[in-house]
Structure 1
Amino acid sequence: MSKPVVAITRPKDRAKKACEIVEKLGGTPVLAPTLDLQPVNTDSLKELVARKDELDWIVFTSPTTIVSLNQFYPDFIPNLNCKLAVIGNKTGKLAEKNGLTVDLMPQDFTAEGLIEEFRKRGITGKVIGIPRTASARPILPQELEKLGNEIILAEAYKSLFPMDEKAIKELFEKIENGEIDAITFTSPLTVENFFEVSDDKEKLAKLLNDNLLTVSIGPITARVLDKYNIAHIYPDTYTVPDMMELLFKTWREENE
């Protein structure tokens, strides 16, 4: 059986592990980031740092938040004295690597999963810091505020349109030439930007549906694929390793 060629659209600084997993599972990765992440030191982040001692909870939704805080405020994380909630194993592991204890990580690695955990535990009347990207969905701060908490929302990094459009257009050519077997998407913006670069979205969607196995990391990203009428699968646990395991299992079943 030939090796599947797998397109990886996640940001370049997060793609190394995904490429390694593809190679380990017997495939060939093709990296074409459709999203770039840039740490930023905003006024809202400065306010969060200044109010550090007021925090009862802080929520890290991605590793990039931790990278940004360490870059601009290296004393912030080591001196945190509040409870920590995270979304996802990777974020949790990086937090622990930075000396923090994770107090809450939902089994469902989504904002909705975290909201449900806060709701079940009756967490109310607390000051909760949420440093993240400004383009993130508003549901997390909105719902935690509805529970009676004060939210300090801070922009810690920007989610940028891909800076290397050439790599994406080269990926389009490979898809059209039948050189790609599967494609992975790890966030709603990776899908949106992928189609934004295309001059013929309907043709691209047809190519994906007819020739590729499309894999989403989870249901939130899958909703955007639904918007473009792309057939897709996603794993029960919303992580990159689980996504890749499902991809290879499905691909092999379809190509035996």
Structure 2
Amino acid sequence: MSTVYLVGAGPGDPGLLTLRGRELIEQADVLIYDYLANKEFLSFARPDCEIIYVGKKGGDHTLPQDDINTLLVDKALEEEGRMIVRLKGGDPYVFGRGAEEAEELVEAGIAFEVVPGVTSAVAAPAYAGIPVTHRRFASSVSFITGHEDPTKEGSAINWGALAASGSTLVFFMGVKNLPTIAAKLMEHGMRPDMPCALVHWGTTCRQRSFVSTLDSVAEEAVALGFKAPSLIIVGEVCSLKETLDWHELKPLLGLGVVVTRSREQASELTSKLRELGACCHEFPTIEISPLPDDAPVREAIAKLPGYDWLVFTSVNGVEGFWDVLDDMGLDARAIGRAKVAAIGPATATALCSRGVRPDLVPGQYVAESVVEAMLREGMNGKKVLIPRAMVAREVLPDELAKAGAEVTVLPVYETKLADEDPSDLLAALEKGEIHFVTFTSSSTVQNFFTRITPEVFAPYREQVKLVCIGPVTAKTLEKLGFTPDVVAGEYTIPGLVEALVASIT
């Protein structure tokens, strides 16, 4: 029998998905997700997973609830032994209609499990600096729908009890009905100056919030352009926002940043930017591929005892070299007497993780600095092996050869133009959602402007800052007719992030 898993996707922050939720997404045969589930989670699914969007937002249902219920049953009965994951924003049973879906599955005799998620009722206020309970202000909290079932004969909400309860009140799906909600609470005795807050897209990089009073909140929400999805919080705890706010103090909150690194390498930069509040748009321009024939690498490894220096110019070079080394049943001992140079700290870290501490890491992380440092070591007559990309700058091998070294350039991987559809990124540019594009190598510059030509990008240039990891990348950008707005002083990912943040502060 197939099993359907009703999985809570959490409130939006990717870090708030449960471990069980991720595990099930990774194993799913069919993944059915809605509007409030973070689309980033789709990347966890297997390549052969069938992915179906059934998004529902106010007044715009891709698929009505009855049809979603039928879809879950149909997919479970379509084939035996499959795993169907229904990914729902927040928690499936907290105003998520998960219970209705579960009832349909029970009626059809289909096995199901529920995986609770972090509900936005708690998470969104917390990210806005509002605890839903506090010993000084509220000893209870009530979760209320702001949009009841329209087919019911009357309201199930006891406004008098809510107004008199002293609880923190958290309303879901209530922005359209905010004037009515505020009026009902005041009509039943809640004081007009009771603190009231709205949190829009809580826990995400798009979060906005404000605190008002019950008698003014509806008017202010319209003036500030607050729409769904937004939570309404009513209670004295809202007065703590100014003291306890933290998420909205992040320096890059709401700013769209394009990450052009390869998909395999994007995570480090993306995670650092997200920690600072950025909305990251991954647009990989490079694809890292192993060589179709690794025989030359095997031959070079067999001759390692004859080399005086190994020079690694990237993490990819380390990984490509070590993949073959491992496949040959060898380890770091194969390097023997050779000294090892790394172009920068990331490459050095990659070597250290494989048991090799570099003998040389230059002060500046470009090929020219590697050359300068190695020349001080004396290169005349030295045999140098440089594992690198198939196509790369020739500064390093050329200058070492001029100094009398016998240089062997060893391609251990190749970079290709990534086949990434630019339509989503172009749509984000058109909406004004992109504020920075980051470039971490000359290849990312060249490939970005191959996918989105300079002529197409030009109309957006004033709204978008171009950020380069160092001067070599900046020069490549200038050759294409664009002046970089930010060039990192330290040619590393942390240095790039630091320079980006400094440009807006």
The alignment's TM-score, normalised by the length of structure 2, stands at: 0.47
1:79 to 334, 353, 358: 334
Paired position in structure 2 for 1:10: 261
Name the amino acid aligned to 2:342: V
Paired position in structure 1 for 2:466: 214
Moved more, 71-80 or 130-139: 71-80
Q: Deviations over 1:164-206 (max 9, x none)?
A: x21x3321221232111111000111111111112x4223134
* Deviation (angstroms), 1:224: 1.1
Paired position in structure 2 for 1:100: 356
Q: Deviations over 1:98-145 (max 9, x none)?
A: 100210111110111101111233232111000111210111111111
Paired position in structure 2 for 1:31: 282
Q: Is the 8 A contact 2:489 2:499 kept in 1?
A: no
Q: For residues 183 and 22 of structure 1, what CA distance do their matches in structure 2 show?
A: 12
Q: For residues 140 and 76 of structure 1, what CA distance do their matches in structure 2 show?
A: 26
Q: For residues 49 and 79 of structure 1, what CA distance do their matches in structure 2 show?
A: 8
SS of equivalent to 1:123: coil
SS of equivalent to 1:191: helix
Moved more, 23-32 or 116-125: 116-125
* Deviation (angstroms), 1:76: 4.9
Instruction: List runs of 5+ in structure 2 lacking aligned partners.
Output: 1-247
CA RMSD in angstroms, aligned pairs only = 1.6
Paired position in structure 1 for 2:300: 48
SS of equivalent to 1:136: coil
Paired position in structure 1 for 2:113: none
- Give 4+ residue runs of structure 1 displaced > 4 Å after superposition: none
Q: For residues 432 and 361 of structure 2, what CA distance do their matches in structure 1 show?
A: 40
* Deviation (angstroms), 1:236: 1.2
Q: Deviations over 1:218-243 (max 9, x none)?
A: 01110111012223121111001110
Paired position in structure 2 for 1:19: 270
Paired position in structure 2 for 1:134: 390
Q: Is the 8 A contact 1:7 1:31 kept in 2?
A: yes
Q: For residues 206 and 51 of structure 1, what CA distance do their matches in structure 2 show?
A: 54
Q: For residues 106 and 88 of structure 1, what CA distance do their matches in structure 2 show?
A: 7
Instruction: List runs of 5+ in structure 1 lacking aligned partners.
Output: none
Paired position in structure 2 for 1:70: 322
Q: For residues 114 and 169 of structure 1, what CA distance do their matches in structure 2 show?
A: 40
Q: For residues 68 and 121 of structure 1, what CA distance do their matches in structure 2 show?
A: 27
* Greater RCO (Cα-Cα under 8 Å, separation 6 or more): 1
1:237 to 459, 477, 490: 490
Name the amino acid aligned to 1:136: A
Q: Is the 8 A contact 1:49 1:76 kept in 2?
A: no
Confirm or deny that 1:186 pairs with 2:437: no
- Going from structure 1 to structure 2, the CA distance change for 1:203 and 1:84 (only over 3 Å counts) comes to same
* Deviation (angstroms), 1:79: 1.9
Name the amino acid aligned to 1:229: G
Paired position in structure 2 for 1:197: 451
* Deviation (angstroms), 1:23: 1.1
Name the amino acid aligned to 1:143: E
Q: For residues 295 and 334 of structure 2, what CA distance do their matches in structure 1 show?
A: 20
Q: Deviations over 1:49-91 (max 9, x none)?
A: 1211101100111111221122222115342111000111111
Q: Is the 8 A contact 1:37 1:160 kept in 2?
A: yes
SS of equivalent to 2:501: helix
* Deviation (angstroms), 1:44: 3.1
Moved more, 233-242 or 72-81: 72-81
Name the amino acid aligned to 2:426: F
Q: For residues 340 and 404 of structure 2, what CA distance do their matches in structure 1 show?
A: 18
Q: Is the 8 A contact 1:88 1:109 kept in 2?
A: yes
Q: Deviations over 1:17-54 (max 9, x none)?
A: 11110011221211110111112243432331121110
Q: For residues 354 and 266 of structure 2, what CA distance do their matches in structure 1 show?
A: 21
The alignment's TM-score, normalised by the length of structure 1, stands at: 0.92
Q: Is the 8 A contact 1:85 1:103 kept in 2?
A: yes
Give the greater-gyration-radius structure (CA). 2
SS of equivalent to 1:157: strand
Q: For residues 390 and 299 of structure 2, what CA distance do their matches in structure 1 show?
A: 15
Name the amino acid aligned to 1:236: G
Q: For residues 206 and 144 of structure 1, what CA distance do their matches in structure 2 show?
A: 44
